[in-house]
Structure 1
Amino acid sequence: MKKAKTTPSRIAGLTQLGQPTRQPQSPDEAVLEKAPNPHPGTLYLIRFTQPEFTSLCPMTGQPDFAHLVVDYVPNKYIVESKSLKLFFNSFRNHGAFHEDCTLMIAKRLQAAIQPRWLRIGGYWYPRGGMPIDVFYQTGKPPAGLWLPDTGVPSYRGRG
């Protein structure tokens, strides 16, 4: 199998890709890196799914778990996926409410890559017997965008 050539201009400035990278200890320490959109001017959706997201309850310090789905339409840049994984993992020792974690992720992505459109679904597992789902989007999806369902069912417990 022929190895794909890496375009140096596409990876210039990326500091985490292709090498061991220390796990950031907090979301503030995490660096979201970007690369040029390989298909500027084309309407397409990028989806990241993080089914095992964790953070800490800011009151009890107990772990909280979520299934995150991030959809965005790139503009000039795409987010580099390793940096996004490290960013997600940086919440493991971060104490914040579900709403804060979900919106912090959305706003950091918006600031880093300035997408044409972005949405995030934070499907949080029950805390105190009640699941909390947090949804955010930057506006209406662009006309003509294929926007598949997130595939995350509503919480039903053992029912």
Structure 2
Amino acid sequence: MSDSIYSGLQQLGQATRMPASPDEATLERVPNPQADVAYCVRFTAPEFTSLCPLTGQPDFAHLVIDYVPGGWLVESKSLKLYLGSFRNHGAFHEDCTVSIGRRLVALLEPAWLRIGGYWYPRGGIPIDVFWQTAAPPEGVWIPDPGVPPYRGRG
């Protein structure tokens, strides 16, 4: 991978252990070879896991991350490892969801980013968390997230 836009990557193509926490995780980026085109990138993590910070009980979510890249793309293996690092991390749903979005914005400086955290019920109440940087750019196709609202048995 030397002499390419991927030469600085530390994790792709390497045996990489799961980070113990989001703070320990390394998110990597690569130059966007299509930076002159406005387009949407979607990552879906239907098995996201974190811990309740008070009880230590597991919490599960379906995350949908959409962004319109500027000069950078997130390297997907580093994103998978970063998201996996929440498995033993205690934080409320709102904090997990917004922290992920803010960290990606700080790394990528995208034209636009949104994250939807569709959290499965615990204690009988589902909590969905949505955050975005601004209104989506004009002319970019931003598909519906495709996650139906929680209906339970109703």
Is TM-score (shorter-chain normalized) higher than 0.5? Answer: yes
Specify the alignment match of 1:93 in structure 2.
Answer: 88
Identity %: 69
CA–CA distance in 2 between the matches of 1:30 and 1:7?
Answer: 23
Cα 1:7–1:46 change in 2 (3 A) is farther
Q: Which residue of 1 aligns with 2:58?
A: 63
Q: Using the alignment, how far apart are the partners of 1:19 and 1:47 within structure 2?
A: 24
Return the offset for 1:67.
Answer: 0.1
Q: Structure 2 CA distance, aligned partners of 1:94 and 1:115?
A: 26
1:46 aligned partner? 41
User: Which structure 1 segments of 5+ residues have no match?
Assistant: 1-5
Amino acid aligned to 2:134: G
| Superposition RMSD in Å | 1.0
* Residue aligning to 2:132: 137
Distance 2:135 2:114 in 1: 10
Q: By how many angstroms is 1:61 displaced?
A: 0.2
Tell me the distance in 2 between the aligned counterparts of 1:7 and 1:150: 37
- Which string of whole-angstrom CA distances, capped at 9 and with x for unpartnered residues, describes residues 57-95 of structure 1? 001000000000000000000000000000000000000
Instruction: Kindly provide the amino acid, as one letter, of the partner of residue 158 in structure 1.
Output: R
Moved more, 9-18 or 63-72: 9-18
Residue 148 in structure 1 maps to residue 143 in structure 2: yes
2:4 aligned counterpart, secondary structure: helix
Aligned with residue 107 of structure 2, among 88, 109, 112: 112
Say which SS state the counterpart of residue 19 (structure 1) adopts: coil
Aligned-partner SS, 2:66? strand
How big is the shift at 1:8? Answer: 3.6
Distance 1:13 1:132 in 2: 38
In 2, the alpha carbon distance for the partners of 1:53 and 1:41 equals: 32
Please give the TM-score of this superposition, normalised by the length of structure 2: 0.97
Q: Is there any run of 5+ residues in structure 2 with no aligned partner, and where?
A: none
1:29-73, CA deviations, whole angstroms, 9 ceiling, x for partnerless residues? 000000000101101000000000000000100000000000000
Give 1:32's aligned residue.
27
List 4+ stretches of structure 1 deviating above 4 A: none
